[in-house]
Amino acid sequence: MPVETIENVATLTAKANVYFDGKCISHGFVTADGQKQSVGVVLAAELTFTTGAAEVMTCVGGSCEYRLKGTEAWVKQEAGDAFSIEGNSSFDIKVADQYHYICSYA
């Protein structure tokens, strides 16, 4: 089931992170138990994201297709689905309309 709200947020960064000329916008936060996450939206685009830390991307609305570095297959992701990305890696993403997500960092 898609996440509608995030409980127990200890710190929220009010200034948005804006990437790819506004095609991706997110806000970072830390939960009360110290988990670093961000919540955001990717608008219609085909983009490549790089990672520093390992990440888990969870779709909370809309959909996308993603392809992990070193793979050929595109995988569809819809609300409630999640995928993991290794640290110091990358992934490609294709969004037809909007993709709303929560990103959890390792």
Asked whether the predicted pLDDT for residue 3 surpasses 90, the reply is no
Give pLDDT, residue 106.
85
Q: Where are the domains of the chain?
A: 9-105
CATH, domain range 9-105: 2.60.120.10
At 45, the amino acid letter reads: A
Give the global pTM.
0.93
Segment 53-95, tens digit of pLDDT: 999 999 999 999 999 999 999 999 999 999 999 999 999 999 9
Residue 1, pLDDT > 60, answer no
Cα separation, 84 vs 106, in Å, equals 10
End-to-end CA distance of the chain: 22
